[in-house]
Structure 1
Amino acid sequence: MALNIRLPKDLDRQLDIIASESHISKSALILQGAQLVIERHARRNVIDASLAFVKAHDAELLERLADA
């Protein structure tokens, strides 16, 4: 799937530099960035679900610890 994206000039220059230093295309660099965003989002969802589980199942323990 093709996607056109307009980048601010400064960001475009920075991406050019990083892509050149990394010996990859700017497109590949942007794909890596998108993958990192997806992974971070998924990790945040796991952390949020884990915290919700602990709060729901260990509420009494957490309350006792807070009072200690």
Structure 2
Amino acid sequence: MAAFVLRTHDYRTISRCLESYGLAVERSAATWPQRRFTDAAERRRAVATVTALGEDPAGTESAGYFHTRLHLAR
């Protein structure tokens, strides 16, 4: 199963659930742009959320786009 998850969302709970069924979950180091922010407030919220989740928004959300990360379960 492949899931492109916005970096503003925590996928760890889902990964643990999939792993409990015997699936191995890999998380890509690369990110992919999803869409531009609708306004400055949405951008600020996304940067704050990504930072709170322990990710670096430099060059991704701080550049004006939501970014996704690939999670592959097999």
Query: TM-score scaled by structure 1?
Result: 0.32
Higher normalized contact order (CA 8 Å, seq sep 6+, divided by chain length) = 2
| Structure with greater strand percent | 2
| Structure label with greater radius of gyration | 1
